[in-house]
Amino acid sequence: MCKKRVASEFFGDKKKSILYKLHDTSMQTNNYIHERPWPIIGAGVALGVVRGLLLATKTNSKKR
């Protein structure tokens, strides 16, 4: 039982640390996106266009 409790305390602290870092990172990301939305929108559009082009060429090559 003692080993189980020690492990629980160790991983409990790690879990809190990871959750804190995750929360902090998500807040920073949220702030960045709200302050600068257009670069994010542009990147999303660019990725969508590239994906669409790749899918279109893949689909066209299968039809031939």
- 19-39 pLDDT, tens digit each: 899 999 999 999 999 999 999
pLDDT, tens digit, for every residue of 34-51? 999 999 999 999 999 999
Residue 40 and residue 33 in contact, taking contact as beta carbons nearer than 8 Å: yes
pLDDT at 1 over 60: no
Q: Give the domain range for residue 24.
A: 2-63
Counted domains in the chain:
1
Rounded to whole angstroms, how far apart are CA atoms 61 and 2?
64
pLDDT, average across residues 1-11: 68
pTM to 2 decimal places: 0.54
